[in-house]
Structure 1
Amino acid sequence: MTTGEPHVAHVPIPLARSGSGITNVVRGLAAAHERAGGRSTVVLSHNRPGTVRHARVERVDYTAHCPRESFRRTEYLLDHMLGALGRERRFAPGLFDPAVERLRALGPDVALLHEGHYAATALPRLRAALPTARLGYYVHTRLSRAYSRREVRRLLAPADSIVCVSAYTAQHVVDRHGGSPPEVSVVLNGVDTQVFSPPAHRQPHERLRLLFVGQVTAEKGPHLLLEAVAMLPEHVQRRLSLRVVGSSAHGWVPELSAYEERLRRTAFTLAADVRFLPFQDNETLVEHYRWADVVAVPSLFQDPCPLVVLEAMACGAAVVASRVGGIPELVGSAGLLLPAAPDPFAAALEHLMRDRPEVARLSARSVARAGELDWDSRNDEVLRALRVASPRGSR
């Protein structure tokens, strides 16, 4: 391994969109690693837009093994059957082969395989290609239910370390493994506080400005937020402005989903000012965060470590979020954590509309909490988890 300048390679989801949370984590870590004096390589699909400014980007053709960009149901079923029998899956591991071969040629000191779509199936092949590298398995989400316990143990064995984005996720991995997995470390996601920062001046205004940011799907809970607003008295609703920013998928989507259409029908019945905006890039998104007094994160699933919480706090918004998954670990005492149901969210919104000093107190706590989770500290923790010396510490 090189001294003082570890070469870290990242393998995100093969056919991910550039706006995905995992890609944004990789960008944050690569920028921090460059500031510390290290260098990064990121393997991306040849047919996906997006760049990673602070890393060398290697483009590979993932469609060589998955020309339709998704597997058929019968192919998934065959993979699941083979995995349950303790054999290598036929389709999922091959999807990662272009990245494995490119990294074999590059020979990085550290390889981080990011979980998102059966990535664990590629760990044995990646270990064979990079026998001397530190191999990390970066877990952003719950492991597929299609993995048997025996398969989880076999697939994770080649990893030197498992990095999880929250203690919730780490416990999930340990439970699924059921034995003694490779070393498991928790590294909460981070935020770029140079990009996401509070407005220079927050102008007082009569309406409480409420914001939802994220993929507009049922599990993210924007309908819960609209239902909460509907429970408020009409005169209270009129003192509320709500923006829903996002689309049914990452990036530009040509048509509204049935779920998005239902949200708009609900919004039409409200006295509050409700506006919908499609997926936004970070440069535009930061202005929405700065506009908001409160950012709601009404997730209905065990959200592992949503970046929207960190981005909102860094911009000085008060956070009102569901007490699920890894969200409590991010928020700490900086926001309001609630059961994932309309009634508690309605009560919290009415309280904050009546108590603007409380909004200001939560805003100050948000900024302080986000400052503790910058990408430089996240990168140092990732390298520490992999037992690799940070170039920052070698100076």
Structure 2
Amino acid sequence: MKRPRVLLLTYGALPIPAVKGGAIETLLASLIEENEKQQLLELIIVSTDDPAIPRFNQTHQHTQVIAVETKKRPLWWFIQKCWNKCRTLATGKRKNLIPYPELIVKTKEYLQEETVDCLIDLNCPERVPAIRSFYTGKLAVYLHNDYLNTQTYQGEKILQQLDGVLSVCDFLNQQAQKIAYSEEWPEFYRVNNGIKLAEFQLANNEEKQQARTQLQLNETDRVIVFSGRITKTKGVHLLLEALSRIDSLEKVTLLVLGGTTYSSGEKDSYFKKVITQAEELPIDVRFTGYIEKEQIPYYLKAADICAIPSIFHETCCLSAVEAQAMGIPVIATKIGGIPEYISEKSALLIDYDQHYLEKFAAGLDQLIHDDPFRDRLSKAAVKGREQHSQKRYYQEFVGSINQLAAKKI
């Protein structure tokens, strides 16, 4: 049976393989790994260049990465961002920046020589009109963020030119379906994100204490972990504010895993602000900076609680999925696609309203001090871990591709 040939056009900021991190890049790495085992697709990935690509191509039989030398254009990006903001103010429509047009050029060059069964744009629907100027085959966008909705510039035109929309959650599909559109809709597919469950196993007491010893954490502390980028939308400042509202914080430690951007050790004004905010708390707050994805399970072994205080339309939040797979109770904002991945039977989901901080602080307080409650959430989290396996993710992705490839144009 012929394997579908699928071209994946990445955003370009970070490379494939995911040697510099990135949520979408890490997820794509899982897809590639599973495909090497099951061999149901031939993947062609257009990526920004990286020294790791030649070796990657040598060791993978069913994935080819096409390396593209990309350039940073800070002045052009600044002008484009200003122009897009003016357009938003004038029309109410938003257009995201297309920072690396050379990826589109390379895709066009490749398709002049080769054929594919479908082309998938990774999370940048604004590129669809440009792709359609040279590609007439099956075209879909794979949404990981809320980038196709009623505020998207030329949203109707983008939908008209698509054969399919793949999304990591129903929330994103529903957002796209709110666009005022009167023609035939593209097909919508939901692809459940997955992780390599073998790396995220429930830690026993001995493993937990060993991790704490090596990380120089007290054995009896309640360890709260935040894992993600240190940005305002991820809500680290709100987590710190919620902790400041708890009366008893004796023997509590907060681990903040991540940096301003993936693989970056730089600290912007927001990062510096939360460091100052953390210094005012009567607890030990540790900022690790960027850590490799392979190290995440090691840090999670030491944790009692995972906090996800996001204040934007988070669509999946793999950090919460990873924590739940290890039986770590999660407290998270009930927003975007998070409720599709985290059950209220195994986590505390807090509505983002005028009482958010008050309720988030109360939830944290309960998780810190109520051992039986925390244990119940932990057991419930472990029961649901299989629904977010890498294998299921791959099966749903392949199923969507097969349906898309079989669709008549």
**Shorter-chain TM-score above 0.5:** yes
Name the SS for the 2:161 alignment partner. Answer: coil
Partners of 1:304 and 1:325 within 8 A in 2: yes
State the match for 2:35 in structure 1.
33
Task: Verify the 8 A CA contact 2:165 2:189 in the aligned structure 1.
Answer: yes
Against the structure 1 CA distance between its residues 14 and 152, is the aligned structure 2 distance closer, same or farther, given a 3 Å change threshold?
same
Question: Helix, strand or coil for the counterpart of 2:197?
Answer: coil
Cα displacement (A) at 1:212: 0.4
| Matching of residue 109 in structure 1 with residue 138 in structure 2 | no
Instruction: Show CA shifts across 1:29-58 (max 9, x none).
Output: 222222222332222112586768753221
Report what 1:216 is aligned to. Answer: 230
Shift in Å, 1:102: 2.3
Report deviation, 1:120: 3.1
Change in Cα spacing, 1:104 to 1:380, as seen in structure 2 (3 Å) is farther
Are residues 1:252 and 2:264 paired? Answer: yes
Q: What CA distance in whole angstroms lies between the structure 2 residues aligned with 1:78 and 1:294? A: 40
Paired residues, number: 371
Superposed, 1:197-346 pairs within 5 Å as 197-201=201-205, 203=208, 205-233=219-247, 236-254=248-266, 256-332=267-343, 333-340=345-352, 341-346=356-361
> Aligned partners of 2:398 and 2:134: how far apart in 1?
19
Structure 2 counterparts to residues 170-181 of structure 1, below 5 A: 170-176=173-179, 178-179=181-182, 180-181=184-185
Q: CA deviation at 1:198?
A: 2.4
Distance 2:393 2:253 in 1: 35
Query: Relative to structure 1, is the Cα distance of residues 90 and 238 closer, same or farther in structure 2, using a 3 angstrom cutoff?
Result: closer
Q: Percent identity?
A: 22
Instruction: For residues 319-367 of structure 1, give each alpha carbon's deviation from its aligned partner in whole angstroms, at most 9, with x where no partner exists.
Output: 1100000001000232110124221121112112222122222222223
Give yes or no for contact 1:211–1:289 (8 Å, CA) kept in 2.
yes
Q: Supply the distance in 2 between the matched residues of 1:320 and 1:310 (Cα, whole angstroms).
A: 12
Structure 1 range deviating more: 321-330 or 262-271: 262-271
> Which runs of 5 or more residues in structure 2 are unaligned?
210-218
Q: Measure the CA separation in 1 of the matches of 2:239 and 2:52.
A: 32
SS in 2 for 1:112: strand
Residue of structure 1 in register with 2:213 after alignment: none
Equivalent residue runs for 1:1-395 within 5 Å: 3-16=1-14, 18-38=20-40, 39-46=42-49, 55-63=63-71, 71-74=77-80, 77=83, 94-95=101-102, 96-116=104-124, 118-125=126-133, 127-128=135-136, 131=137, 134-143=138-147, 147-148=152-153, 151-176=154-179, 178-179=181-182, 180-201=184-205, 203=208, 205-233=219-247, 236-254=248-266, 256-332=267-343, 333-340=345-352, 341-388=356-403
Does structure 2 conserve the Cα–Cα contact (< 8 Å) formed by 1:191 and 1:375? Answer: yes
Q: For 1:212 and 1:295, how far apart are their aligned partners in 2?
A: 6
Letter of the structure 2 residue corresponding to residue 183 of structure 1: E
Partners of 1:223 and 1:263 within 8 A in 2: yes
Aligned mates of 2:34, 2:374 — CA distance in 1: 32
Contact 2:163-2:404 within 8 A present in 1 as well: no
Which residue does the alignment assign to 1:393? none
Asked whether the equivalents of residues 192 and 396 of structure 2 are also in contact (C-alpha less than 8 Å), the reply is no
1:53-106 alpha-carbon deviations (Å, 9 max, x no partner):
75322102344xx7559634258738997xx9xxxx997794422133224434
Structural RMSD (CA): 3.1
Equivalent pair of 1:157/1:181 in contact (CA under 8 Å): yes
